[in-house]
């Protein structure tokens, strides 16, 4: 039971990393990344291949995952920079499909739809499963805290303030002399790096990855986490991610009570619930449950 709790908490940590990555791109940068699953997969495959097939140590795998995802994200962002955000949405979604295609078809590299099993985990062979879950949780939690602190620091730093100014009004920001394009590409690459890192953690924790794991559905989970927590709010992203994992895991308990429905139907109901919840929160609480704190206008308006 305790082991299971650590396992759920580890997944919550991985989701929190994903939400933090998307928060840099969408929450702070105002750019859309609908191909989140693609960056997640890219990081997972990069690290898994580097360590399982290449025999490199895990920290190098993590760095490779973050670096490759950042490179891909920077290129995609660069490509659509001059266009409206809609194009970035389409290109990123296309990118994640491409990653999935490559993962499913380049069998010599990725073992196709059978996936890669036996991805090394830190000291997996020397620890009991319970100890391994505990260690994984500790490592992922450390990563979440580091990334959270970094993101929070960046958000308040001049870089983050300029980025948020660009998000809210890029004309005004460019009049103020901010190099908009450079900021956007940097933010997208940084966010993508965090997504790639989350993918690497996933691969090393579960020891098994396959193309089907990185379905677009996971992108919706993370947008739900971020929207529920408050778009642009770093702490909200982490809380939202934990809440989404609790809902997903909690619905497994509910499933036990209903025996009328088949497995496919139960899974379908859960996904319907997630989708409806996202749309409902977007409509009812567009700023999220914990809105981004704004310093407010310099001079308070008297009316209202």
Is 30 a binding residue for other proteins by CB under 8 A? The answer is yes
CB-CB contact of 164 with 232 (8 Å): yes
Among 150, 165, 247, 269, binds other proteins (CB under 8 A): 269
CB-CB contact of 233 with 290 (8 Å): yes
**Subset of 97-126 contacting other proteins (CB under 8 A):** 97-98, 101, 104-105
CB-CB contact of 241 with 229 (8 Å): yes
Among 8, 16, 17, 34, binds other proteins (CB under 8 A): 34
Q: Which range of residues in 128-136, 183-191, 216-224, 238-246 is near other proteins by CB under 8 A?
A: 216-224
Task: Give the residue with the Cβ less far from other proteins, 52 or 241.
Answer: 241
Q: How far apart are the first and last CA of the chain?
A: 53
Question: What Cα–Cα distance (Å) separates residue 268 from each residue in 81, 207, 215?
Answer: 37, 27, 14
Among 41, 223, 232, 236, binds other proteins (CB under 8 A): 223
Print the binding letters for residues 67-96 with other proteins: x by CB under 8 A, - otherwise.
------------xx-xxxxxx-xxx-xxx-
Give the nearest distance from C-beta 119 to other proteins in angstroms: 24
**What is the per-residue DSSP string for 231-292?**
TT-HHHHHHHHHHHHHHHHHHHHHHHH--SS-HHHHHHHHHHHHHHHHHHHHHH-TT-SSPP
Is 272 a binding residue for other proteins by CB under 8 A? The answer is yes
CB-CB contact of 139 with 122 (8 Å): yes
Residues that bind other proteins (CB under 8 A): 30, 32, 34, 79-80, 82-87, 89-91, 93-95, 97-98, 101, 104-105, 216-217, 219-220, 223-224, 227, 262, 264-265, 267-269, 271-272, 274-276, 278-279, 282-283, 286
């Amino acid at each position: 039971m305790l082991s299971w709790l650590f396992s759920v908490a580890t997944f919550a940590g991985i989701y929190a990393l994903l939400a933090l990555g998307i928060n840099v791109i969408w929450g702070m940068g105002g750019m859309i990344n609908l191909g989140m699953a693609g960056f997640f997969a890219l990081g997972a495959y990069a690290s898994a291949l580097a360590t399982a097939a290449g025999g490199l140590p895990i920290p190098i795998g993590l760095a490779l995952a973050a670096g490759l995802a950042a490179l891909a994200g920077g290129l995609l962002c660069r490509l659509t920079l001059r266009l409206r955000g809609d194009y970035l949405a389409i290109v990123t979604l296309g990118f994640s499909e491409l990653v999935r295609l490559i993962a499913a078809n380049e069998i010599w590299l990725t073992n196709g739809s059978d996936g890669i099993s036996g991805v090394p985990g830190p000291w997996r062979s020397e620890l009991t499963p319970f100890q391994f879950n505990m260690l994984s949780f500790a490592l992922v939690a450390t990563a979440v805290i580091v990334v959270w602190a970094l993101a929070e620091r960046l958000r308040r730093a001049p870089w983050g303030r300029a980025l948020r100014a660009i998000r809210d009004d890029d004309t005004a920001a460019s009049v103020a002399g901010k190099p908009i394009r450079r900021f956007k590409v940097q933010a997208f690459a940084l966010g993508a790096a965090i997504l790639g890192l989350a993918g690497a953690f996933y691969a090393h924790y579960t020891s098994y990855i396959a193309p089907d794991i990185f379905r677009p559905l996971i992108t919706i989970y993370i947008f739900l986490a971020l929207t529920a927590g408050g778009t642009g709010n770093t702490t909200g992203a982490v809380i939202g991610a934990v809440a989404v994992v609790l809902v997903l895991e909690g619905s497994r308990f509910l499933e036990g009570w209903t025996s009328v429905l088949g497995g496919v139907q139960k899974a379908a109901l859960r996904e319907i619930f997630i989708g409806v919840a996202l749309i409902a929160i977007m409509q009812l609480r567009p700023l999220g449950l914990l809105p981004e704190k704004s310093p407010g206008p310099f001079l308070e308006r008297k009316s209202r």
